[in-house]
Amino acid sequence: MVGVGPGDPELMTYKAIKVLEASPVWIAPKAKKNGSSSALHIAAGMVSMDGKEILELHFPMKKVRLNHNADPELVSSWKDAAQKVINHLESGIDVAFPTLGDPALYSTAFYLLAALREQCTSLKVTIVPGITAMAACSAKIGNPLGLGDDVVTIVPAAFDDERLRDILATFDAVVLMKVYKKMARVVELLDEMNLTDKAVLIERCGLPDQKIYTDVRAAVDKELHYFSTLLIRKKEVVL
């Protein structure tokens, strides 16, 4: 499981590059059946794919609620991917799974890992952490994620209004992931809570077409890219 960072290949770690170089097979996730893998695209910006076997596997974008049964189509995509990994490993071939940002944060990597562990108990897995999108976004706008006694929370924007309202009221800083189709609703909530001026939206952070919305209302009627993260900080940094 190799975190490849949030888009700019130069944000890949040395370790990620080394592991990808050494792996003859890469299995990369893609969200759309006919689309391509963002993680693969990022990895290819730093490591040559010449001579490698590359498999892009489709993992449908469906909501997962932990401790509830996941959509059967999704479960079968995890199990099929695990089987493909195991087939290679049983032939003595190492497999790398490049994944966007860090594998530990809202990534398919850990579902795949669970499916792998279910099918094969003697598996040796290395997890290579990556730079998260929120770290890159925070760096880009020059504002910390958490400082002093801040309590920071990270939330997928698909939460319902009531839960989001509670979270926005409770925490000092909030990272909203996957906001691309939710901005109208989120800005309405921010307005209601007088937090609109505390929010910054970063779209395609670190990529040539990156956009930063310091006025998040301007993003409401835009067709935003999936790579969009909203950072909300209530407190200023004062000395």
Ligand X SMILES: C[S@@+](CC[C@H](N)C(=O)[O-])C[C@H]1O[C@@H](n2cnc3c(N)ncnc32)[C@H](O)[C@@H]1O
Instruction: Using the rule CB under 6 A, give the single segment among 47-55, 83-91, 103-111, 158-166 that binds ligand X.
Output: 103-111
- Residue 159: CA count within 13 A, CB half-sphere: 17
**For residue 129, what are the contacts with CB-CB under 8 A and spacing of at least 6?**
3, 13, 102, 103, 104
Kindly state the smallest distance separating residue 239's Cβ from ligand X, in Å.
30
Rule CB under 6 A: say whether 110 interacts with ligand X: no
Of 160, 19, 155, 190, give the one whose Cα is nearest residue 99.
Answer: 19
Kindly state the smallest distance separating residue 61's Cβ from ligand X, in Å.
9
Rule CB under 6 A: say whether 229 interacts with ligand X: yes
Bridge partners of 212? 202
The only residue of 11, 40, 100, 164 in contact with ligand X, by rule CB under 6 A:
100
Residue nearest to ligand X (CB): 101
What is the C-alpha to C-alpha distance for residues 213 and 10, in angstroms, rounded to an integer? 24
Instruction: Using the rule CB under 6 A, give the single segment among 67-75, 110-118, 120-128, 221-229 that binds ligand X.
Output: 221-229
The only residue of 205, 219, 224, 231 in contact with ligand X, by rule CB under 6 A:
205
What is the C-alpha to C-alpha distance for residues 131 and 9, in angstroms, rounded to an integer? 11
Residue whose token pair is 């310091």: 214
Rule CB under 6 A: say whether 7 interacts with ligand X: yes
Rule CB under 6 A: say whether 107 interacts with ligand X: yes
